[in-house]
Amino acid sequence: MTTDSRRPALPLTLMLVAALFINYVDRGMIGVAAPLIKEEMALSATAFGIAVSAFFWIYGPAQLLTGWMVDRFNAEKLLAGGVAVWGGATAAMALAPGLAPLVALRMLLGLGESAAFPASAKLIARDVPAEHRGSANAGVGAALAFGPAFGMLVGGLIMATYGWRVMFAVFGLATLLWLLPWRRFIRTAPIDTDTTANELPFSAVLRHRTLWAVCLGHFTSNYGFYFLLSWLPLYLTTVRGFTLAEMATFTALTFAAQGLVALLAGWGSDRLIERGHSASAVRRGLMLIGHVGGAVGILGIVMVDSRAATLGWLMFTGGTMGINSVGVYLIGQVFAGARAAGRWIGTQNFIGNFSGIIGPIVTGMIVDASGYSGAFYLTAGVSAVGALAWLFLVPRIQPVDWAAARLRR
């Protein structure tokens, strides 16, 4: 690929990490507000699950479109448009009078956020040197965790003092401020003279079996993360009797542990590879550790009674999710390369986020029928299935030879 090399990789990476941090603050706000929204709107657990799931009705399918667009058009501008839409949707939730408007705004939020991962994956694959992509994706993984940690803690404190509507307004307007420094990156976008991305049909990407194996791994990785993001606040307040302040603190520490472990896992995996260890074995090994540990941690949370033990298992589980968050996008970027990164990650995120469509509704039905224990057991089982997928279905982790793949049509 031939690109103008004016742009340093570090500032770009930091801006992308900031965008994804904000992304997960905003999408997680409904979980923070769950105890008050559910009470004010008189929602059953199933109805609340529908409101959570509505985000993914649009977010998942739109990944296919945004993934195609970032491979063909200006990824910087597409990301800016997505941030503007999702920031506005977040702020507007402060005005939602009932379930139907809340569902509609969650769908709009999903549309805006659908640009985030395909665009960031494209920009990392295109502009960040290969030897630094582990650290770049560690930053992304940390953002996915520190976003909810920050949102749970700060959002919970705002909500406890001013109510959930003020919380949505504050975070939505704050999101739009990100666009001010991003204008610099739109003005200095590298001139891409490579046309091979346009010559590679989307169908060739979709036919590659490795994509679907990674999609399954992504689905199982997301399932546990979204379960805790959406349902942990309700579980802690309604079943364990935590106050809003205690809930905010415990959930924030869970996601803070995820972020710290993501940074360590990304840095450590890069160092192991630099010392001569197989990149494929290192990346796969991290996913296995993350999924097996996640299954154990989820079971631990529901099987203990004391606050101290609960916090320990929450932070353990958060740490395992941090390990997963480094590898899931990095592995997709390695297979796809810059040529197909937008479409690959778009499709991967589309399938992976079906867990956000299915999981909240299934969890709500289980909770309404029999309580939370069954939902925790199911989530642990999904994480265990993920370990098997990364071990047996995903082949050696290396770039796809797209020219050879097209010849095998």
Return the pLDDT at 5. Answer: 44
Q: Residue 44: its pLDDT value, please?
A: 86
Task: Please give the residue that has the higher pLDDT: either 396 or 408.
Answer: 396
CATH code of the domain made up of 9-404:
1.20.1250.20
Q: How many CA atoms lie within 13 A of 111 on its CB side?
A: 11
- Return d(Cα 123, Cα 115) in angstroms, integer: 12
pTM of the predicted model as reported, rounded to 2 decimal places: 0.77
Residue 259, both tokens: 């972020």
Quick: pLDDT tens for 124-148.
Answer: 878 777 667 777 877 877 887 788 7
Read off the pLDDT band of 189 (50, 70, 90): low
Q: What is the pLDDT of residue 266?
A: 82
Domain ranges of the chain: 9-404
- pLDDT attached to residue 51: 86
Q: Mean pLDDT, the chain, as a whole number? A: 86
Give Dmax (Cα) for the chain. 62
Write out pLDDT tens, residues 157-188.
Answer: 888 889 989 999 999 999 999 999 998 877 76
- pLDDT confidence tier of residue 405, bands split at 50, 70 and 90: low
| Token pair 């540990």: residue | 293
pLDDT band, very low/low/confident/very high, at 1 (cuts 50, 70, 90): very low
pLDDT > 90 in the chain, percent: 36
Residue 193 — very low, low, confident or very high, per pLDDT cuts 50/70/90? Answer: very low
**pLDDT value at residue 135:** 75
What is the rounded CA–CA span in Å between residue 25 and residue 45?
Answer: 22
The pLDDT of 195-217, averaged and rounded, is 83
d(CA 152, CA 237): 13
Report how far apart, in Å, the C-alpha atoms of 118 and of each of 174, 220, 303, 332, 377 are.
23, 19, 38, 11, 32
Report residue 391's pLDDT band, with 50, 70 and 90 as the boundaries. very high
pLDDT, tens digit, for every residue of 16-71?
A: 989 999 998 888 888 888 888 888 898 888 888 888 888 888 888 898 888 888 88
Confidence (pLDDT) at 6? 43
Tokens of 149: 């940690």
Mean pLDDT for 379-393 is 95
Going 64 to 61 to 319 to 157, the CA torsion angle's sign is positive
What pLDDT was estimated at residue 2? 40
Q: pLDDT tens digit string along 307-336? A: 999 999 999 999 998 888 888 888 988 898
pLDDT, position 196:
53
pLDDT of residue 336: 87
Tell me the CA distances in angstroms from 94 to 41, 304, 356, one per residue in order: 13, 36, 23
Q: Which two tokens stand for residue 20?
A: 């994804």
Q: Quick count: other Cβ atoms within 10 Å of Cβ 145?
A: 27
Does residue 62 contact residue 114 with C-beta atoms inside 8 Å?
A: yes
C-alpha distances in Å from residue 353, one per residue of 7, 52, 115, 222, 381: 32, 12, 14, 7, 17
Q: What band does 8 get if pLDDT is binned at 50, 70 and 90? A: low
Alpha-carbon distance of 206 to 325, in angstroms, equals: 23
pLDDT digits (tens, 9 = 90+) for 343-362: 888 889 889 888 877 888 89
Q: How far is CA 351 from the centre of its chain?
A: 13
